[in-house]
Chain A
Amino acid sequence: MAKKHPTASATSTPTSAKSEAELPVPKKAAKPAQQVTAVEMGARQREISVAEFFTKNRHLLGFDNPRKALLTCVKEAVDNALDACEEAGILPDVIVKLEVVSNGEPIAPSQATRFRVTVTDNGPGIVRQQIPRIFAKLLYGSKFHRMRMSRGQQGIGISAAGMYGQLTTGKPVQIISRIGPKAVAHFFEVQIDTKKNEPLVHENKQIDWARPRGTQVTLEVEGKYQKGRASVDEWLEQTSIANPHVKLTYHTPEGETKDYPRTYHELPPSPREIKPHPYGIEFGMFLKMLQDTKSHSISGFLASDFCRVSPQLADEICKAAKVPAHSKPRELKGPAAETFYRTIQETKIMAPPTNCISPIGEKAILSGLYKQIKGEFYTAVSRPPAVYRGNPFIIEAGLAYGHRPEDQNKTKQPTAPKAEGEHEEDDSELARVIRYANRVPLLYQQSACSTFKSVLNTTWKNYGVPQSRGALPGGPMVIFVHMASVWVPFTSESKEAIADYDEIQKEITLALRECGRRLGLFLRRRERAASEYRRRNIFELYIEEVVEACNRLKGGKLPKEKLKGQLQKIANSRTGGAKTDEALGKTGAGPEGLPHSIIVTEEGVEGEVDLASQVESEAVAAPVQTPVEANPLRDEKPVATETKAQGKTPTGMKGKDAKPPKGKAAQMALFSGSDRLDRPDRPNRPDRRDRPVSASKPRGKK
Chain B
Amino acid sequence: MATKQHKTTSVEKKLIGLADMVVTAAERSKDPTFAIPIRALSNVSFNERKGLIEMGAKKQTRSFFNVGMAKKFMQTMLVADALAELQRAELTTSLREIYYRTKHTIQDSHENTFDTQDESDPVIEDLEVSLAALREELHVRAENSGSIVGPVVFGDDGDRVDCSKLGKGGYSVPSIVEPEYLEIRRCTADFVLLVEKGTQWNRLSEDKFWRRYNCVLLTGNGQPPRGVRRLARRLHEEYRLPVYVLVDNDPWGYYIYSVVKQGSINLAFESQRMAIPKAKFIGLSSADPERYGLPRNVGIKLNEKDIARAKELMNYQWFKKPVWQAEIKRMLTSGLKYELDSLANKDFQYLTKKYLPGKLKDKDWLD
Confirm or deny: A691 has a beta carbon within 8 angstroms of a beta carbon on chain B. yes
A131 → chain B closest CB, angstroms = 70
Q: Quick one: which of B16, B85, B122, B142 contacts A690, CB cutoff 8 A?
A: B142
B221 touching A553 by the CB < 8 A rule?
Answer: no
Query: Among the interface residues B70, B221, B264, B339, which one has the most CB atoms of the partner chain A within 10 A?
Result: B70
Size category of the binding interface on chain B: 35 or more
Q: Give the CA-CA distance A542 to B84 in the complex, in Å.
A: 20
A539 touching B108 by the CB < 8 A rule?
Answer: no
B111 touching A672 by the CB < 8 A rule?
Answer: yes
Q: A689-B135, A689-B142, A693-B255 are in contact. Are A542 and B122 (CB under 8 A)?
A: no
Q: Give the CA-CA distance A690 to B199 in the complex, in Å.
A: 18
Q: A558-B23, A696-B252 are in contact. Are A542 and B73 (CB under 8 A)?
A: yes
Q: Give the CA-CA distance A696 to B222 in the complex, in Å.
A: 12
B223 touching A683 by the CB < 8 A rule?
Answer: no
Q: Mark B182-193, 1 if CB is under 8 A from A, else 0.
A: 000000000000
A546 touching B73 by the CB < 8 A rule?
Answer: yes
Considering the complex, give the chain A residue whose CB is closest to the CB of B38.
A683
B107 touching A692 by the CB < 8 A rule?
Answer: no
Query: Among the interface residues A679, A699, A701, which one has the most CB atoms of the partner chain B within 10 A?
Result: A701
Q: Give the CA-CA distance A600 to B125 in the complex, in Å.
A: 52
Q: A550-B19, A683-B40, A686-B125 are in contact. Are A566 and B29 (CB under 8 A)?
A: yes
B259 touching A675 by the CB < 8 A rule?
Answer: no
Q: Give the CA-CA distance A650 to B85 in the complex, in Å.
A: 34
A550 touching B22 by the CB < 8 A rule?
Answer: yes
Q: Which residues of B contact A697 (CB under 8 A)?
A: 250, 252
Q: A570-B31, A650-B110, A696-B252 are in contact. Are A689 and B64 (CB under 8 A)?
A: no
Confirm or deny: B197 has a beta carbon within 8 angstroms of a beta carbon on chain A. yes
Confirm or deny: B77 has a beta carbon within 8 angstroms of a beta carbon on chain A. yes
Q: Give the CA-CA distance A689 to B274 in the complex, in Å.
A: 13
B84 touching A553 by the CB < 8 A rule?
Answer: yes
Confirm or deny: B362 has a beta carbon within 8 angstroms of a beta carbon on chain A. no
Q: Give the CA-CA distance A542 to B226 in the complex, in Å.
A: 34
Q: Quick one: which of A535, A566, A570 contacts B67, CB cutoff 8 A?
A: A535
Give the residues from 658 to 702 in chain A that come closer than 8 angstroms, CB to CB, to chain B: 664, 668-669, 671-672, 675, 678-680, 682-683, 685-693, 696-697, 699-702
Q: A563-B26, A685-B122 are in contact. Are A664 and B108 (CB under 8 A)?
A: yes
Confirm or deny: A638 has a beta carbon within 8 angstroms of a beta carbon on chain B. no
Q: Quick one: which of A546, A551, A569, A679 contacts B74, CB cutoff 8 A?
A: A546
B353 → chain A closest CB, angstroms = 22
Confirm or deny: A193 has a beta carbon within 8 angstroms of a beta carbon on chain B. no
Q: Quick one: which of B15, B27, B71, B74 contacts A566, CB cutoff 8 A?
A: B27
Q: Quick one: which of B73, B111, B198, B305 contacts A668, CB cutoff 8 A?
A: B111
Confirm or deny: B180 has a beta carbon within 8 angstroms of a beta carbon on chain A. no
Q: Which residues of A contact B70 (CB under 8 A)?
A: 538-539, 542
Q: Which residues of B contact A558 (CB under 8 A)?
A: 19, 23
Considering the complex, give the chain A residue whose CB is closest to the CB of B31.
A570
Confirm or deny: A567 has a beta carbon within 8 angstroms of a beta carbon on chain B. yes
Considering the complex, give the chain A residue whose CB is closest to the CB of B175.
A689
Confirm or deny: B81 has a beta carbon within 8 angstroms of a beta carbon on chain A. yes
Confirm or deny: B148 has a beta carbon within 8 angstroms of a beta carbon on chain A. no
Q: Which residues of B contact A571 (CB under 8 A)?
A: 65
Q: Which residues of A contact B57 (CB under 8 A)?
A: none
Considering the complex, give the chain B residue whose CB is closest to the CB of A687.
B266
Give the residues from 92 to 137 in chain B that come closer than 8 angstroms, CB to CB, to chain A: 106-111, 113, 118, 121-122, 125, 135
Considering the complex, give the chain B residue whose CB is closest to the CB of A688.
B121
Q: Mark B2-29, 1 if CB is under 8 A from A, else 0.
A: 0000000000000110111011001101
A sample of 30 inter-chain contacts (CB < 8 A) reads A542-B70, A542-B71, A542-B73, A542-B106, A545-B77, A545-B78, A546-B64, A546-B74, A549-B77, A550-B23, A553-B15, A553-B16, A554-B20, A567-B26, A570-B29, A574-B65, A647-B108, A668-B111, A669-B110, A679-B71, A680-B68, A689-B135, A689-B142, A690-B142, A690-B143, A690-B222, A699-B223, A700-B221, A700-B222, A701-B339
Residues of B within 8 A of A (CB): 15-16, 18-20, 22-23, 26-27, 29-32, 39-40, 64-65, 67-68, 70-74, 77-78, 80-81, 84-85, 106-111, 113, 118, 121-122, 125, 135, 142-143, 145, 197-199, 221-223, 225-226, 250, 252, 255, 259, 264-267, 305, 309, 339
Q: Which 4 A-B pairs have the closest CB atoms?
A: A553-B19, A566-B26, A699-B222, A549-B77
